[in-house]
């Protein structure tokens, strides 16, 4: 979508403060979503978790700053409610470069939402002053302009900041190669040629973790490999991964992994025999910790207390959970056997029935095939069994089903009984597909929700994720409501635009009634647990509830 070019706020815009709130854990508030009716500045003084803005996720931490245009929706449900505090500053923007001044609703300085400003202490101090001077409107206006000036200055300096970010990224690679060495933040900042205070802030923005916390987790990952694969004394393992003190190693291991290293080693050496999707009987660790998950339902793993070490990074970087898995390594698509081997996994979960690839992977580590087109309930239950997390799986499914039923009951006033829905996408060029038991469609079909028509029902019952159809058969598959996905492939997007302008599209009953929705496939055409949970909040907004 094209955006208007940002204009110079100094000569073309006026700002008027509407409201300032300060939210903290000491203030009880039950609202998980907030609609920003005006331009809104969010400044976190503390925080932990993910803030979703218009269905895009952003990591929350101290000093995180977000500037939202009007009509943006903020979802706070993934922020730790016991560890947050932030200022919310709302203001009206008036455009002067008109014959009659009018309200300006576009982005102010750029299309950015998140502003990684260093140092952020000045902006936090200004917000605090602004909050305290509620009885002095003139002073408040002056402080508001000073806050916005900080953002404007950032825009002028962002090229330099980008270079600093790249330098910090290179030191993250250095950490992965030299984690055994006695490293300090000062040394890392020096390598990046960045001031120490700036280095830590940029590092946390990139990874969601402080540098030394990141280094500790990296060392413990390698310690887990050694504990599984060797019988070396704990003192030697601690030194091999960069800990000089065995007792400190023990304490940090238990604190982060959850059990002492000796208990972890015993547990990892226990084995269970499971049967996978394609019929292999495989001996796997009873509680695997170094898992490669290769498939489009990678988000299923995020409900368990396990961070996969490998996956398809290209797909992950487009997802909602990209900031949730900062340590995951790329094993490409199709899967790269050499990279997978280098990660020393203790379990590989492979959502593919290719027997030739399976044989190669099973030489690297115990490998199980997994049907990513199976129902969410079956997938999560099976993963719980393989990961030694059966209770976690049951608890999550129970909570999800409760929330899902509540959502559909909420929509009953909007939907007609027995309404059907269908999902289409142009992909791989100009080829048209109707979705079956994968992607967005899995969230639509529910006893209290939409139903598939008979053709799509047959597709789902046969276990097919999707089916390619000729364009002239689209009316036969079209439901009472149509969800048309658009991909990031240029040829596919042009085919989508051509369809929307065609007489065939305009003749469809759902289109005539306005019951059609254009949906970004990069965000929503996934059926994993994490995305499905996000859709519980997004779907009502999508259909205009």
Which CATH number fits the domain 421-542, given the four candidates 3.40.190.10, 3.40.50.460, 3.40.50.1980, 3.30.1370.60? 3.40.50.1980
Our CA dihedral for 133, 138, 142, 147, rounded to 10 degrees, sits at 50
Q: What is the pLDDT of residue 5?
A: 41
pLDDT in tens, 134-145: 778 888 988 998
Give the closest residue to 179 by CA, choosing from 145, 225, 215, 233: 215
Q: Are 350 and 361 in contact (CB under 8 A)?
A: yes
- Do the first three CATH levels of 213-268 and 421-542 match, i.e. the same topology? no
Q: Are 150 and 122 in contact (CB under 8 A)?
A: yes
Q: What is the pLDDT of residue 280?
A: 96
| DSSP code string of 448-484 | TSBB--HHHHHHHHTT-SEEE--GGGHHHH--SEEEE
Look at 470 and 150; give whichever has higher pLDDT.
470
Q: Which run of H or of E encompasses 78?
A: strand 72-79
Q: Residue 530: what are its φ and ψ, rounded to 5°? A: -65, -45
Q: Are 192 and 168 in contact (CB under 8 A)?
A: yes
Query: Of the ranges 227-236, 240-249, 415-424, which one carries the lowest mean pLDDT score?
Result: 227-236
SS (H, E, C) 402-450: HHHHHHHHHCCCCCCCCCEEEEEEEECCCEEEEECCCCCHHHHECCCCE
121 pLDDT above the threshold of 90: no
Structure tokens at 243: 């800990």
Within its chain, how far is the Cα of 526 from the centroid?
12
Q: What is the pLDDT of residue 162?
A: 53
Q: How far is the C-alpha of 34 from the C-alpha of 39, rounded, in Å?
A: 13
Task: Count the helices and strands in the chain (H runs, E runs).
Answer: 22, 21
Q: Is residue 440 very low, low, confident or very high in pLDDT (cuts 50, 70, 90)?
A: very high
Q: Is residue 98 very low, low, confident or very high in pLDDT (cuts 50, 70, 90)?
A: low
Structure tokens at 199: 């280095």
48 pLDDT above the threshold of 80: no
Q: Is 156 exposed, middle or buried (0-12, 13-18, 19+ CB in 10 A)?
A: exposed
CATH 3.40.50.1980 fits 271-391, yes or no: yes
Q: Is 490 exposed, middle or buried (0-12, 13-18, 19+ CB in 10 A)?
A: exposed
Q: How far is the C-alpha of 497 from the C-alpha of 166, rounded, in Å?
A: 37
Q: Which run of H or of E encompasses 368?
A: strand 367-369
Q: Are 39 and 91 in contact (CB under 8 A)?
A: yes
* Residue carrying the six token digits 């009007």: 70
In the chain, what's the furthest Cα-to-Cα distance? Answer: 80
Q: Residue 285: what are its φ and ψ, rounded to 5°? A: -60, 145
45 pLDDT above the threshold of 80: yes
For domain 9-157, the CATH class is: mainly beta
Q: How far is the C-alpha of 182 from the C-alpha of 275, rounded, in Å?
A: 44
Structure tokens at 175: 């950490």
2 pLDDT above the threshold of 60: no
Average pLDDT, the chain: 87
Structure tokens at 455: 């053709």
pLDDT in tens, 165-224: 788 888 988 998 899 999 999 899 889 888 777 788 888 877 878 899 999 999 998 898
Q: Is residue 545 very low, low, confident or very high in pLDDT (cuts 50, 70, 90)?
A: low
First to last CA, the chain: 23
Q: What is the pLDDT of residue 60?
A: 79
Alpha-carbon distance values, 217 to 65, 194, 252, 373, 441 (Å): 27, 23, 9, 33, 38
Structure tokens at 416: 């007609």
Q: How far is the C-alpha of 133 from the C-alpha of 7, rounded, in Å?
A: 29
Q: How far is the C-alpha of 493 from the C-alpha of 425, rounded, in Å?
A: 9
Which CATH number fits the domain 213-268, given the four candidates 1.10.10.60, 1.10.10.10, 3.40.50.970, 3.90.650.10? 1.10.10.60
Q: What is the pLDDT of residue 29?
A: 54
Helical pair 529-542 and 376-386, crossing angle rounded to 10 deg: 150
Q: Are 505 and 515 in contact (CB under 8 A)?
A: no
Mean pLDDT value across residues 457-466: 94
- How many other C-beta atoms lie within 10 A of the C-beta of residue 45? 18
Q: What is the pLDDT of residue 370?
A: 97
- How many other C-beta atoms lie within 10 A of the C-beta of residue 198? 16
Structure tokens at 370: 């997994």
* Residue carrying the six token digits 């142009």: 426
Q: How many CA atoms lie within 13 A of 147 on its CB side?
A: 32
6 pLDDT above the threshold of 50: no
Q: Residue 515: what are its φ and ψ, rounded to 5°? A: -95, 55
3-class state of residue 367 by DSSP = strand
Q: Where are the alpha helices (DSSP H) in 242-291?
A: 246-257, 261-268
Q: What percent of the chain has pLDDT over 90?
A: 51
Give the closest residue to 115 by CA, choosing from 183, 175, 53: 53
Q: What is the pLDDT of residue 1?
A: 34
Query: Of the ranges 122-126, 188-192, 227-231, 409-413, which one carries the lowest mean pLDDT score?
Result: 227-231
Q: Where are the alpha helices (DSSP H) in 110-195?
A: 121-132, 137-178, 185-192
* Domain residue extents for the chain: 9-157, 213-268, 271-391, 421-542
pLDDT in tens, 478-523: 999 999 998 878 899 899 989 998 999 999 999 999 999 988 888 8
pLDDT in tens, 295-326: 999 999 999 878 899 999 988 888 878 777 87
Q: How far is the C-alpha of 242 from the C-alpha of 220, rounded, in Å?
A: 9
Q: How far is the C-alpha of 483 from the C-alpha of 454, rounded, in Å?
A: 17
Q: How far is the C-alpha of 253 from the C-alpha of 223, rounded, in Å?
A: 9
């Amino acid at each position: 979508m094209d955006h208007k070019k940002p204009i110079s706020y100094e000569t073309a815009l006026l700002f008027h403060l509407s409201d300032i709130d300060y939210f903290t854990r000491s203030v009880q508030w039950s609202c998980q979503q907030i609609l920003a009716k005006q331009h809104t500045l969010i400044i976190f003084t503390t925080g932990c978790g993910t803030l979703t803005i218009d269905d895009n996720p952003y990591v929350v931490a101290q000093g995180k700053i977000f500037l939202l245009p009007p009509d943006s929706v903020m979802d706070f449900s993934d922020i730790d409610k016991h560890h947050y505090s932030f200022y919310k500053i709302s203001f009206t923007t008036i455009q002067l470069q008109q014959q009659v001044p009018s309200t300006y609703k576009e982005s102010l300085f750029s299309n950015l939402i998140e502003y990684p400003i260093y140092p952020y202490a000045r902006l936090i101090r200004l917000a605090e002053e602004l909050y305290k001077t509620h009885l002095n409107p003139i002073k408040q206006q002056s402080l508001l302009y000073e806050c916005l000036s900080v953002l404007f200055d950032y825009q002028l300096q962002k090229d330099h900041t980008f270079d600093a970010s790249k330098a910090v990224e290179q030191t993250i690679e250095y950490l992965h190669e030299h984690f055994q060495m006695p490293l300090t933040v000062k040394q890392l900042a020096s390598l990046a040629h960045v001031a120490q205070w700036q280095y830590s802030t940029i590092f946390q923005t990139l990874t969601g973790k402080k540098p030394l916390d990141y280094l500790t987790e990296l060392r413990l990952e390698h310690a887990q490999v050694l504990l599984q694969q060797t019988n070396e004394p704990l003192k030697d393992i601690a030194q091999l991964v960069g800990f000089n003190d065995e007792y400190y190693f023990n304490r940090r291991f238990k604190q982060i992994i959850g059990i002492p290293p000796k208990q972890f080693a015993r547990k990892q050496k226990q084995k269970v025999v499971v049967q996978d999707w394609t019929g292999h009987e495989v001996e796997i660790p009873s509680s695997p910790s170094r898992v490669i998950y290769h498939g489009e339902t990678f988000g299923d793993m995020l409900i368990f207390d396990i961070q996969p070490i490998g996956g398809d990074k290209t797909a992950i970087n487009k997802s909602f959970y990209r900031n949730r898995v900062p340590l995951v390594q790329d094993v490409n698509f199709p899967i790269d056997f050499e990279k997978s081997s280098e990660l020393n996994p203790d379990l590989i979960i492979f959502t593919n029935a290719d027997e030739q690839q399976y044989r190669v992977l099973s030489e690297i580590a115990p490998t199980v095939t997994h049907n990513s087109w199976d129902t969410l309930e079956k997938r999560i239950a099976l993963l719980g069994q393989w990961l030694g997390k059966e209770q976690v799986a049951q608890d999550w499914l129970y909570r999800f089903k409760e929330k899902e039923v509540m959502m559909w009951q909420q929509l009953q006033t909007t939907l007609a009984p027995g309404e059907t829905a269908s999902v289409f996408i142009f992909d791989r060029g100009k080829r048209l597909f109707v979705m079956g038991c994968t992607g967005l469609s899995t969230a639509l079909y529910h006893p209290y929700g939409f139903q598939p028509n008979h053709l799509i029902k047959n597709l789902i019952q046969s276990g097919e994720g999707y089916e390619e159809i000729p364009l002239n058969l689209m009316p036969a598959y079209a439901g009472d409501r149509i969800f048309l996905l658009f991909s990031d492939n240029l040829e596919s997007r042009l085919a989508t635009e051509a369809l929307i302008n065609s007489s065939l599209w305009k003749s469809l009953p759902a289109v005539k009634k306005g019951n059609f929705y254009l949906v970004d496939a990069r965000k929503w055409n996934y059926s994993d647990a994490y995305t499905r949970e996000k859709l519980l909040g997004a779907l009502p907004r999508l259909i205009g509830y």
